[in-house]
Amino acid sequence: MMNFEEKLEHSLDHLEQSRVKEAMLYSLCAPAKRLRPRMIYSVLKGYGLDESKGDYCALAIEMIHSYSLIHDDLPCMDDDDLRRGQKTCHCQFDEATALLAGDALLSEAFGLLMKTDCSAEIKNDLVSEFVNAIGANGMILGQMLDLISEEQQADVQMCSKIDILKTGCLFSLAMISGCLLAEKKTDKEVWRKIGYKLGLAFQIQDDCLDVSSTAQVLGKSLSDEKNHKSTFVSELGFKKAEKLYQQYFDEIENDLKMCNIQIEPVMDIINQIRHRDH
Amino acid sequence: MMNFEEKLEHSLDHLEQSRVKEAMLYSLCAPAKRLRPRMIYSVLKGYGLDESKGDYCALAIEMIHSYSLIHDDLPCMDDDDLRRGQKTCHCQFDEATALLAGDALLSEAFGLLMKTDCSAEIKNDLVSEFVNAIGANGMILGQMLDLISEEQQADVQMCSKIDILKTGCLFSLAMISGCLLAEKKTDKEVWRKIGYKLGLAFQIQDDCLDVSSTAQVLGKSLSDEKNHKSTFVSELGFKKAEKLYQQYFDEIENDLKMCNIQIEPVMDIINQIRHRDH
C-alpha cells in the first residue's frame, strides 16, 4: 500500500515527460502538511468508510492547492521566492513554466476526479463543487479581492470575506467531497459552514503566527508585511485576533457535534491545526 | 432565442461582480470567429441533432480557448499587447488580473459542462476528453514545447507536434464533444484524427498568412517573427508549406466521407477555414 506522498508522486505517471511535468511534480511533492487531503480522509473515516475511497479526490484537491500556490507566488502576484522551504516554482524553473505548471495542475485535477470510485452522478456533483470552490465565486475571487486590498486597505469584514474565499472554500470542498463520497448529501451544507469557519480561524491564526514567528520557522517569505496588506492583527490587534480565532475553533467543535458522524477523526485534524506553531 | 455571442455574454451571470469577472468577459466576448463552438454545432447538425444540445459545451470550449489566449499573451509567454483587434487582457487590466481571469475561465468551463443536457456518464466522458485535450498531455504540453522551441530551433517534426497539441487538440475536442453528445462514441477516434489534421492545416496556413499579411489584417502582433520561432514557412519555404496544408485539407475531406454523417455542415466550416485570408 502506497502512502499519500507516494500516491502524489505517481499521480502524474500518465503524462509525457516534459519540463512542465517536472515543474508540476516539483511543487506538488514539496514537503507539506496535506491538510485538505487529510480532511477528506477524516470525514470518510468519521462516516465509517474506507479512506481509500477518497484517494483521487484527495490528490485532486492537493493539485488545486498546489496550482494556487504556484500562481500566487508569481512576480505579478505575491512575488515570493520561498515556499514550503524550497525555491518557488518560477525561481526553480522560469515564469512561463510555472504559469503552465499551475494551469496543468488545475486541469489534471478534474481528470483525477473522473477516476474516483463512485457513481457518475456523484462525480458530476464533485465537479460542480470543485468549480464553486475554486472559481470566480470562490478561491479566485478571494485572490482578486486580496490583490485589490493592497490598493485599498481592507476592513475586518473584507479580511473575513477574503479568508473565507481564499482558504475556507478549499477546506469546505475537502469536507464536502468526503460527505458526497459517503453519500450523505443532506449533511453537505453543515460541512460547508464548518469549512468556511475553519478557513477563517486558520487565516486569523496565520496572521497571529506571522507576527510571532520568523520566515525561517514558517518556511515562507513574510509577503503580507512586505506588501502592507491589512491583516486581522493589524486591524484588531494581536490579543483580540487571537481570541477571535480561538472562539471560531470552539464553535467548530460544537457544529461538529450536530453532525451525524463519529467526530474524533475530524477533531484530530482540527486540534492539530489549532495547536500548530507554524 | 439568443445567438452565440449573447449566450457568451450571459455565460458568467452566476458570478459575483468583480474585476476578475470583468476581465473574463472582456476577453471572452472580444470579436472572434468562434471556430471551435461552430465545430461542435456542425458535428451535431451533421448527425441530425438540434444544435442547442451543444450550447454549454460550446461555451466551455470557447472559455478554454479564451483562457489559453490570455495566458499566452502574458509578458512571461508571448508578451503580446494586441489580440482580436483589442488590447490584450493584461494591457487592459493588469498582469495579476489577467492571470486570475485565465484561471477562472479554465475553472468555470468545467462548471458549464455540468449543465449540459445529457446523461451523467456522457458528462464524465466530456470532462475526461476536456482534460486530455487541454492538460499536460495536450494543449499545455504544446505551449511548453513551443516555448522550448524558442531556445532550441524546432524541426518540421517538432513544429507538427506543437501545432497538433496547441491547436489540433482543441479542434479534436470540439468535434469529439459533438460526437459524444450525439451518442456516436464509435466515431470518436475518427473525429480525433480529423481535428488533429485540421489543427495542423490551420497552423501551417497561419504561418503562410503571417508571411503574406500584415499585423493589421490579422488583428494580432506577429510575435513568431519577433521571437525567432521556427515555422513551417521558415523550415520548408512558402511554396512547400502552402502545398502541405492544402494536401491536409484534401485528406480531411476524404476522412469525413468515411464518417456516418451528413458532411455538408462540417465541410462548410472547413471550407471557410481553408479559404480565409486572415
DSSP A260: S
Distance CA B106, CA B228 (A): 29
Q: What is the CATH number of domain B19-274?
A: 1.10.600.10
A213 Cα to chain B: minimum distance (Å)? 28
Q: Give the C-alpha separation, B120 to B116, whole Å.
A: 9
Query: So where are chain A's domains?
Result: 16-274
Asked whether the beta carbons of residue A15 and residue B137 sit closer than 8 angstroms, the reply is yes
Cβ distance of B135 and A21 shorter than 8 Å:
no
CATH architecture of A16-274: Orthogonal Bundle (1.10)
For chains A and B, CB pairs below 8 A equal 157
Chain A hits for B131, Cβ within 8 Å: 107-108, 110-111, 114
CA A23/CA A89 separation, integer angstroms:
7
Whether residue B108 and residue A135 make contact (CB cut-off 8 A), yes or no, is yes
User: What residues in B contact A141, CB-CB < 8 Å?
Assistant: 15-16, 18, 20
Separation CA B188–CA B190 (nearest Å): 5
Q: What is the pLDDT of residues A158-196, one digit of tens each?
A: 999 999 999 999 999 999 999 999 999 999 999 999 999
Which distant-in-sequence residues (6+ apart) come within 8 Å of A78 by Cβ? Answer: A72, A223, A227
pLDDT of residue A158: 94
Q: Which residues pair with A83 in a beta bridge?
A: A86
Put simply, the answer to whether A102 touches B102 (Cβ < 8 Å) is no
Over residues A230-252, the mean pLDDT reads 93
Taking an 8 Å cut-off on Cβ atoms, the answer to whether B20 and A136 are in contact is yes
B35 by Cβ neighbours in 10 Å (0-12 / 13-18 / 19+) ranks as buried
Instruction: Write the ipTM.
Output: 0.94
Q: Is the CB of A141 less than 8 angstroms away from the CB of B113?
A: no
Q: Does residue A228 surpass a pLDDT of 90?
A: no
Pick from A108, A124, A130: which is nearest to B136 by CB? A108
Cβ distance of B96 and A111 shorter than 8 Å:
no
Are B110 and A119 in contact (CB < 8 Å)? no
**Does the beta-carbon distance from B99 to A71 stay under 8 Å?**
yes
Of B122 and A223, the structure prediction assigns the larger pLDDT to B122
Single pTM value for the model: 0.94
Residue A2 reports pLDDT greater than 70: yes
Considering only the beta carbons, identify the residue of A18, A113, A136 that sits closest to B104.
A136
One digit per residue, the tens of pLDDT, for chain B of length 278 reads: 899 999 999 999 999 999 999 999 999 999 999 999 999 999 999 999 999 999 999 999 999 999 999 999 999 999 999 998 899 999 999 999 999 999 999 999 999 999 999 999 999 999 999 999 999 999 999 999 999 998 888 899 999 999 999 999 999 999 999 999 999 999 999 999 999 999 999 999 999 998 887 555 555 555 555 556 788 998 999 999 999 999 999 999 999 988 889 999 999 999 999 999 87
Partners of residue A14 in chain B, C-beta under 8 Å: 137
In angstroms, the separation between the Cα of residue B245 and the nearest Cα of chain A is: 27
Amino acid A220: pLDDT: 55
Nearest to B22 by CA among A98, A251, A136: A136
C-alpha–C-alpha distance, residues B232 and B203, integer Å: 9
**Between the CA atoms of B234, B240, B246 and B251, what dihedral angle is there, to the nearest 10 degrees?**
-100
Rg, Å, chain A Cα set: 18
Per-residue pLDDT tens digits for A12-48: 999 999 999 999 999 999 999 999 999 999 999 999 9
User: With contact defined as beta carbons under 8 Å apart, do B25 and B9 qualify?
Assistant: yes
pLDDT at A222 over 70: no
- DSSP-derived letter for residue B167 is I
* Residue A139 pLDDT: 98
For residue B212, what pLDDT is reported?
80
Dihedrals φ, ψ of B109, to 5°? Answer: -55, -40
C-alpha dist (Å) from residue A167 to A75, A140, A267, B45, B133: 21, 11, 19, 44, 29
Question: Hey, are the CB atoms on A18 and B141 less than 8 Å from each other?
Answer: yes
Cβ–Cβ below 8 Å for A103 and B100? no
Q: Do the beta carbons of residue B168 and residue B190 sit within 8 Å? A: no
Write a three-state SS string for A112-167: HHCCCCCCHHHHHHHHHHHHHHHCCCCHHHHHHHHHHHHHCCCCHHHHHHHHHHHH
Kindly give, in sequence order, each residue whose CB lies less than 8 Å from that of residue B195, ignoring residues fewer than 6 positions away: B39, B168, B169, B170, B171, B172, B173, B174, B175, B176
End-to-end CA distance of chain B, in Å? Answer: 30
- DSSP β-ladder status, A86-87 and B82-83: unpaired
From A96, A108, A123, residue closest to B135, measured CB to CB: A108
Shortest distance between the Cα of A262 and any Cα of chain B, in A, equals 31
Going by C-beta distance under 8 Å and a sequence separation of 6 or more, which residues neighbour residue B21? A136, B12, B15, B104
Site from B69, B107, B108, B134 to mutate, A interface, most A CB atoms within 10 angstroms: B107
How far is the alpha carbon of B265 from chain A, nearest alpha carbon, in Å? 31
Q: What is the pLDDT of residues A63-84, one digit of tens each?
A: 999 999 999 999 999 999 999 8
pLDDT at A209 over 60: yes
Nearest-CA distance A42 → chain B (Å): 26
H/E stretch holding A82? strand A82-83
